[in-house]
Structure formats: structure tokens, C-alpha cells
Structure 1
Amino acid sequence: METDSEALPLGDDPSLLIVDDDEAFLRRLGKAMEKRGFTVELAQSVAEGRAAATSRPPAYAVVDLRLEDGNGLDVVEALRARRPDSRIVVLTGYGAIATAVAAVKIGATDYLSKPADANEVAHALLSTGEGLPPPPENPMSADRVRWEHIQRVYEQCDRNVSETARRLNMHRRTLQRILAKRSPR
């Protein structure tokens, strides 16, 4: 997560709601966005996110797609109902086209795959939609993206190697060798 602040035009209302169940990521992104001029409110669940979106609808929101207690799109729907002009970015560890389409259909302004840094998030929130954003300065290598995906599925399977291998459609021993290695850079 980059912490360099960039001066970007926020408009009259700099309120930002960030919803993510990864507490460390949530706090880092919150601090980085405050440095960029946003007034940040943090939520760690769908319930907290919906409550904030309903009672204090922000001008901007960053919502994780998969949360411990449900789907982040529920927060997007609640916010869109209360404040149709809000700019919402959906973050996810799964860069699938189907989920991107669902997020945009439900009202998200943009969709970013994790790990996204604060500059990428700020640009997605504040872009006018004219043209494509510039490519990232230091994108993750393909090996690193693969490693991150395997680790996420492994954690979701409660660190069960056999179940993870089945879900990833790979041989258990191959997965064990991958997990035994250090992460690529």
C-alpha cells in the first residue's frame, strides 16, 4: 500500500466509507485516504457498512466484495438507494469478469482487484470516466498473482491442502510443493 499523498479534486463532500473485513488493510487504506483529503469512516462487515450507508450516506465508498458476514454488493445497493450520486469502488481478491459486471450493474462506479494501493483507489474514485487510467507503475507479476490466489483459496478452505487442491483442480502434491516455497516477488 503506497502512502504517498496526491492532490486530487474531491469536491464539496469528501466523505468516504471503506468496508473490508481485513482489519490491517482497512486501517492502512483509511489512513492513506485521509492523507489524500477524504473524511474516512471504516466498517468491517456488511451490517456495519449498511448501517453507515443508511444513516450517513457518503459521497465515496470502497467496498470489499466478499465479507465475513455476506456480500459487499448489499452495501453497494444500500448506499445507491440512499445516495445515487455516490462514487463506489468494489475491491476483490477475485478478478472475475462476472463479478465485475455484477458490481457495475448493482451501482459500482469501478472495480479493482486486490491488492490495490491507495493511489489506484483514489484515481478510481475520482476519475471522470474519460479514457482508460494509466497502467500501474509496478504491477504484480503473474507468479505473484497466482500465489495470492492460491493462498486465498487455501485460507478459505481452513488450510486444508486436499480441499484446496480439489477446488483449484490441481494435484495435492503439486499444491504442497507450491505452498512450501516462498512467495514470489
Structure 2
Amino acid sequence: MSDRETILIVDDDVTFGDILQRALQRRGIQVDVARDSQQAFTLIGKRNYQKAIIDLKIGKESGLDITEELLRRKPHLHVVILTGYSSIATAVQAVKKGAANYLCKPADADEILAAFTETKKSPAAIPEQPPSIDRLAWEHIQSVLAAHDGNISATARALGMHRRTLQRKLSKRPVKH
């Protein structure tokens, strides 16, 4: 057993996972990469990881569900969720599921490592530019989707829109702030 810090990366983006793995290894950290939940669950049973970096969307899987299961198996694990699809609703869900932090991609290795120890002691800064109407709509859709446990049909009914319209909106990248 080594005293080296160990981190598990769970991300289906091969390029991003490999780049992050190399960057962390250059910092003296033992890193393994899982491309899906099954690989992550197998690896977590074989090694005592201190930290995990988990993408929010891994193929058709939810990084939040993977986080919950990994923490059930290894309660001491510190988790940071990474996503290219950030929203307040998913950030709240991530924290409720046990994540230590939630970061938007792109994030470099130093930002990710800092997210494991960062604590928010000061109030969040109020942005000079308020979010756009499109961004607010995206946030609302995400919160209604979260309230309906990811059920697209129930969310569409709650929002008063056609299911396919909602699916189209969800397949697009989030609107910038």
C-alpha cells in the first residue's frame, strides 16, 4: 500500500480524461480513469481512493447517480463533479448527493485540486450583468427536470410544452450567463 494520494476520474471523454490523468500524475498523484459506472465500481473495490472527479454526464448515465453509489461504497471519498452543462439545479443536486464541489468545464488540474479543499466562507459575488432570459429559462427547465427526477414526459407536462420540444432544448448546450 502506497502513501501516495489516489484519485479516480470517471469521464467518458477519452481525451479530457487522459489529459487530466497526465496532469495529475505530474503532480505525484496516482490516478485511474473509468469510462463508465461499471468500471468505476470495479476500480473503487480494488483501490482505496481519497478523491474522485466525476463528469455529470457519462454517456447515458448520470454522474450524480454514480457519485451516490461510490459514496455509499466508500463514505470517506471526496468527490468533485465536473460538467459542461452547469445549472443551479444540478449543482444543488450534486451537493445533496455528497459532492464536495461542482465545477464547470473547462477546468484545469489546479482548479480541480483546489475544489477539493475550497470552502465558500464569503458570500457569492453578485455579477454585474444579470443572467439572460435564455439562461434563466435553461435554469428553470433544469430545476423542473430535477424536481421530476429526470422524467422528460413529466417535466414537459409541468412546463406545458411538447416532450420533443423539451428534448431538443435539453440536447443543446446551456446558454451562457
1-structure distance, mates of 2:42, 2:74: 13
2-structure distance, mates of 1:97, 1:130: 16
Deviation at 1:57, TM superposition (A): 4.1
TM (normalized to structure 1)? 0.62
Deviation at 1:130, TM superposition (A): 5.8
Q: Would you say the 8 A contact 1:53–1:78 is kept in 2? A: no
1-structure distance, mates of 2:5, 2:56: 23
| Equivalent in 112, 121, 129 of residue 119 of structure 2 | 129
Task: Say yes or no: does 1:167 pair with 2:158.
Answer: no
2-structure distance, mates of 1:37, 1:86: 19
2-structure distance, mates of 1:50, 1:90: 17
**Shift in alpha-carbon separation, 1:105–1:42, aligned structure 2, 3 A:** same
Q: Would you say the 8 A contact 2:50–2:78 is kept in 1? A: yes
Q: Which amino acid aligns with 2:111?
A: E
Sequence identity, in percent? 41
3-state SS of 1:41 partner = strand
Query: How many residues in Structure 1 have an aligned counterpart in Structure 2?
Result: 132
2-structure distance, mates of 1:72, 1:90: 7
Structure 1: any 5+ residue segments left out of the alignment?
Answer: 1-11, 136-145, 147-162, 170-185
Match of 2:78 in 1: 87
Task: Say yes or no: does 1:45 pair with 2:51.
Answer: no
Q: Would you say the 8 A contact 2:55–2:82 is kept in 1? A: yes
**Shift in alpha-carbon separation, 1:17–1:38, aligned structure 2, 3 A:** same
Q: Which amino acid aligns with 1:68?
A: G
**Shift in alpha-carbon separation, 1:114–1:60, aligned structure 2, 3 A:** same
**Backbone CA RMSD of aligned residues:** 3.0
Match of 2:149 in 1: none
3-state SS of 2:113 partner = helix
CA displacement, residues 25-79 of structure 1 (integer Å, 9 cap, x when unaligned) = 0000001011122110111112211222234341000000101141112221222
Q: Would you say the 8 A contact 1:16–1:41 is kept in 2? A: yes
2-structure distance, mates of 1:13, 1:102: 31
TM (normalized to structure 2)? 0.64
**Shift in alpha-carbon separation, 1:129–1:107, aligned structure 2, 3 A:** same
Match of 2:14 in 1: 23
Match of 2:145 in 1: none
Q: Would you say the 8 A contact 2:4–2:28 is kept in 1? A: no
Q: Would you say the 8 A contact 1:18–1:61 is kept in 2? A: yes
1-structure distance, mates of 2:118, 2:91: 19
3-state SS of 1:108 partner = coil
